[in-house]
Amino acid sequence: MYVVPDQHGRTAVVTGANSGTGLEAAKRLAGAGAHVILAVRDVGKGERALAEVRALHPAASAEVRVLDLADLASVEKFVVGLDLPHVDLLLNNAGVMAPPERFETVDGFELQLGTNFLGPLALTNRLLPLLLAAPAPRVVTMSSIAAHWGRIRTDDLQWTRGYSPQRAYGQSKLADLYLARHLARVADERGWALLSAAAHPGFTRTNLQTAGASLGRDKPSRSLLDLPFVPVQEAAEGAEPMLFAAADPDAQRGAYYGPSGTFSLVGPTGPARLSRHMRDERAAAWVWDAAEKLTGTRLPDAR
């Protein structure tokens, strides 16, 4: 089990912290001494998650705040409401996976693109002034092995034609990887102390595989988790690549971390493979620019 280094004096924002890898990250960062903000859509679920954190760590410094990444007004309200001198860690963890039909966010974006990428990018841009006020800030964005088959649909980013649940998911997670790597490139060019990295959880047992796939259906959808021959791990293991990128002294700017075991689905954290299209800096810059226009947010000026 990865041991998170001491985090006393640091403030961490964890999206989707009410369950799965987000809750696991919140528990372990709080246990290491960080002040953890559990950023969740549902206050009730957030409070239950906070109770779990405090059951493990009675002296934990943690709080629940409302954040809906599928609503840009909620993103802005969340950031405006942070009365803090700085934020040290942002873990872009929350997401939705493969709803069977094309749904839209309140802002009219395809649900997976809006929740998994546009919302996190808007949150990152809005939080950057607070992050850059910290001495050694980090942003970690959760991608997926689905990024390998993802492609950016430059002519139809919102999947208004021929919607495919899995391909739209792959696009959103490739965009997440681009978010992390483009931000790392900008930080390097501008001399920011910010470390931006990406991670993926391999194949981890959470509600991600079923919640999205069950949207609009009366019965829960079956999942690959039900197949006996697919290696799978629990949230405690699936959160470790994200925690390594967020806290380890050896984590590198622009790196991508994931499980190093069978088919990169399970196992201890190591560098994840980046295919040629995943390393495409021009594509990363294009999708970042498109996202800024769609969300009405932008990087802070160079400092």
Contact between 272 and 200 under an 8 Å Cβ cutoff? The reply is yes
Question: Which region, left, alpha or beta, applies to residue 281 given φ > 0 means left and ψ of -120 to 50 means alpha?
Answer: alpha
Instruction: Report pTM.
Output: 0.93
Beta strand 138-142 with 89-92 is parallel
Structure tokens given for 191: 């001399």
Q: What pLDDT is recorded for position 206?
A: 80
Q: What pLDDT is recorded for position 12?
A: 98
- Average predicted confidence (pLDDT) for the chain: 93
Judge whether residue 44 has pLDDT over 90. yes
Distance from chain centroid for Cα 173: 9
**212-230 tens-digit pLDDT:** 454 555 555 555 545 555 7
**142-178 tens-digit pLDDT:** 999 999 999 999 999 999 999 999 999 999 999 999 9
Which amino acid appears at position 292 of this protein?
E
d(CA 251, CA 180): 13
| pLDDT above 70 as % of the chain | 92
As annotated, the active-site residues are 169
Q: How far is CA 139 from CA 109, 160, 252, in A?
A: 24, 31, 12
Q: What pLDDT is recorded for position 16?
A: 98
CATH 3.90.230.10 matches 11-295 = no
Q: What pLDDT is recorded for position 72?
A: 98
**123-147 tens-digit pLDDT:** 999 999 999 999 999 999 999 999 9
Q: What pLDDT is recorded for position 231?
A: 80
What is the DSSP annotation of the chain?
-PPPPP-TT-EEEEETTTSHHHHHHHHHHHHTT-EEEEEES-HHHHHHHHHHHHHH-TT-EEEEEE--TT-HHHHHHHHHT---S---EEEE-------SS--B-TTS-BHHHIIIIIHHHHHHHHHHHHHHTSSS-EEEEE--GGGGT----TT-TT--SS--HHHHHHHHHHHHHHHHHHHHHHHHHHT---EEEEE---SB-STHHHHTTTTT-SSPPP-GGG-TTS--B-HHHHTHHHHHHHH-TT--TT-EEEE-SGGGTSSSEEEPP--TGGG-HHHHHHHHHHHHHHHT--PPPP-
Give me Rg for the CA atoms of the chain.
18
Contact between 62 and 37 under an 8 Å Cβ cutoff? The reply is yes
**82-120 tens-digit pLDDT:** 999 999 999 999 999 999 999 999 999 999 999 999 999
